[in-house]
């Protein structure tokens, strides 16, 4: 059900700003009038961007989990032979997410006015991506919308699971780096300066390591703001340079060659490529359209180019496996299985097997990466602390001998 924002005057003469749900703008006006408010302005809320209600305007974003649950519920309702308009209305009423509630209400209104579900969903690209819209379109065309929606929910869950694995693997190293940097900053900003006063009173020539520690302490104390600005500025420049053009190509090429992360990046992209392509093909989306969608989901520009070449090859009557093999970026086992799938007419099952296999390998590699990073970080922190202790204790021991 659409949501309308309105302004008016109450019977006490106070300004009123609020939202109201109604089937149409005329019905909304009648409801507002019956509540004793003199209406001055009314308009339909669009995607939660202009609502009078604060929670709708700012409200929480639509997570993949929210969308997956709604998709699975819609699949169940459609499978139970409930009309799509009624199903969307039920989803809108049951949703706990304010933004999703508004969007579902607007989608329901558009479908009620004669639009197809896929066309209505395509008006919200930030919520329903090209994979979602094209799969729904294929489901509507083939009359298997409930099956496609179920498959779409499962696909979203697997993609969310893979993303969570990557995030979980990165949490520990990031925490270690942040905590380590803060600890070193506190030591050099507050601890070393106090000890330095003792060294000054000694009036003795200090060891090189002590001079280095004092110099680092002075820099941290006097130029901490410049260090922070340099880190932020360096990160911004790095992101800008590596976000497009030759800088992006060079960085993505380096990432694929890195000893620990290169293999993981390749596996993640292969798993994403195979799982998405298999899901789209199983849902009835044409292979050229599927490859165009999948190409935009591959995060590495060189692998994306390989998929683009495969798309061209298919359009010219060639194979999918050959351009991927020629790129040298896709493992030989992957291209071999895709080639077998093409020859046997079982491409979709082959892609699913590859996706499942690489998803498991990604999990194992990420666990191994975490196990490798942990001792490296501990050794680094140990060496840093040992240097500080060495720099501080050496002059004190020399003074005791004197």
Q: How do the domains of the chain map onto residue ranges?
A: 3-58, 64-156, 157-402
Interhelix angle 347-401/332-344, rounded to 10 degrees, is 170
Domain 64-156 matching CATH 1.20.81.30: the answer reads yes
With 0.85 as the threshold, say if the pTM is over it.
no
Question: CB count, 10 Å around CB of 150?
Answer: 19
CA 369/CA 140 separation, integer angstroms: 43
Q: Give the pair of three-digit tokens for residue 295.
A: 């190409």
What would the pLDDT profile of 21-43 be if each residue is shown by its tens digit?
776 777 777 777 777 777 777 77
Q: Which of 297, 333, 326, 331 is nearest to 312 (CA)?
A: 326
CA proximity to 294, closest of 318, 324, 252: 324
| DSSP-derived secondary structure letter, 276 | H
pLDDT tens digit sequence for 284-300: 888 888 898 888 888 88
Contact 4, 13 (CB under 8 A): no
pLDDT score at 56: 35
Query: What average pLDDT does range 245-273 have in this prediction?
Result: 88
- CB count within 10 Å of CB 242 equals 17
pLDDT at 275: 87
Alpha helices in 80-144 (DSSP H): 84-94, 98-112, 117-121, 130-142
Q: Is a pLDDT exceeding 70 seen at residue 55?
A: no
**Coil/strand/helix, residue 8:** strand
What is the rounded average pLDDT of the residues 193-221? 83
Question: Is pLDDT of 306 > 90?
Answer: yes
Mean pLDDT of 297-317: 90
- Please indicate whether residue 172 or residue 104 has the higher confidence score (pLDDT): 104
Report the pLDDT value the prediction gives residue 402, as an integer from 0 to 100: 53
Task: Indicate if the pLDDT at residue 401 is higher than 70.
Answer: no
Measure the CA–CA gap between 247 and 233, rounded to whole angstroms: 17
- Residue 26 Cα to chain centre, angstroms: 41
Q: How far apart are CA 41 and CA 384, in angstroms?
A: 65
Task: Note the pLDDT of residue 49.
Answer: 40
Mean pLDDT (the chain) is: 83
Comparing 1-15, 216-230, 291-305, which segment has the lowest mean pLDDT? 1-15
Per-residue model confidence (pLDDT) at position 312 = 92
Per-residue model confidence (pLDDT) at position 6: 78
Does the CA dihedral 66-68-71-75 come out positive or negative?
negative
Give the pLDDT band of residue 399 (cuts 50, 70, 90).
Answer: low
Of 45 and 306, more confident = 306
- Give the pLDDT of residue 45: 67
Task: Indicate if 157-402 has the same CATH topology as 64-156.
Answer: yes
The single residue listed with the structure tokens 């200090």 is 206
pLDDT band at 12 (very low <50, low <70, confident <90, very high): low
Does the pLDDT of residue 239 top 80, yes or no?
yes
Read off the pLDDT of residues 137-165 as tens digits, 9 standing for 90 and up: 888 887 888 888 888 888 888 888 878 87
Which pLDDT band, with edges at 50, 70 and 90, does 13 fall under?
low
Cβ neighbours, 10 Å, residue 331:
17
User: What is the pLDDT confidence band of residue 176, given thresholds at 50, 70 and 90?
Assistant: confident
- Asked if pLDDT for residue 213 goes beyond 50, the answer is yes
50 pLDDT band, cuts 50/70/90, is very low
Quick check: helix, strand or coil at residue 89?
helix
Q: What does the alpha-carbon distance between residue 148 and residue 12 come to, in Å, rounded to a whole number?
A: 54
Average pLDDT score over residue span 110-119: 88
- Specify the fold of 157-402: Receptor-associated Protein (1.20.81)
What's CA 22's distance to the chain center, in Å?
35
User: How sure is the predictor about 52, in pLDDT bands with cuts at 50, 70 and 90?
Assistant: very low
């Amino acid at each position: 059900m659409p949501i309308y924002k309105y302004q008016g005057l109450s019977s006490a003469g106070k300004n009123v700003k609020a939202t109201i749900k109604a089937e149409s703008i005329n019905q909304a006006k009648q409801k507002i009038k019956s509540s004793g408010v003199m209406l001055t302005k009314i308009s339909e809320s669009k995607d939660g961007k202009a609502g009078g209600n604060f929670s709708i305007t700012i409200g929480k974003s639509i997570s993949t989990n929210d969308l997956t649950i709604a998709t699975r519920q819609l699949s169940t309702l459609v499978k139970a032979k409930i009309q799509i308009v009624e199903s969307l209305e039920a989803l809108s009423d049951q949703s706990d997410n304010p933004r999703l509630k508004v969007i579902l209400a607007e989608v329901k209104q558009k479908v009620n006015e004669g639009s197809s579900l896929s066309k209505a969903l395509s008006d919200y690209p930030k919520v329903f991506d090209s994979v979602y819209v094209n799969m729904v379109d294929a489901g509507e065309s083939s009359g298997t919308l409930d099956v496609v929606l179920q498959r779409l929910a499962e696909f979203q869950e697997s993609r969310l699971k893979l993303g969570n694995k990557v995030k979980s693997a990165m949490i520990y190293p990031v925490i270690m780096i942040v905590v380590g940097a803060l600890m070193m900053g506190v030591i050099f900003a507050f601890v070393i300066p106090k000890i330095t006063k003792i060294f000054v009173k000694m009036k003795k020539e200090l060891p090189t390591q002590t001079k280095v520690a004092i110099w680092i302490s002075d820099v941290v104390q006097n130029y901490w703001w410049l260090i922070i600005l340099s880190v932020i500025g360096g990160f911004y420049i790095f992101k800008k340079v590596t976000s497009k053009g030759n800088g992006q190509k060079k960085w993505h090429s380096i990432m694929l060659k890195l000893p620990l992360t290169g293999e993981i990046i390749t596996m993640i992209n292969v798993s994403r490529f195979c799982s998405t392509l298999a899901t789209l093909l199983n849902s009835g989306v044409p292979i050229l359209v599927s490859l165009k969608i999948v190409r935009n989901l591959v995060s590495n520009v060189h692998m994306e180019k390989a998929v683009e070449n495969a798309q061209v090859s298919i359009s010219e009557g060639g194979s999918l496996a050959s351009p991927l093999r020629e790129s040298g970026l896709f493992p030989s086992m992957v291209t071999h299985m895709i080639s077998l799938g093409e020859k046997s007419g079982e491409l979709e099952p082959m892609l699913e097997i590859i996706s499942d296999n690489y998803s498991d390998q990604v999990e194992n590699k990420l666990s191994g990466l975490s196990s490798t990073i942990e001792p490296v970080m501990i050794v680094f922190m140990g060496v840093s602390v040992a240097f500080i202790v060495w720099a501080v204790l050496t002059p004190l021991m020399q003074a005791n001998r004197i």
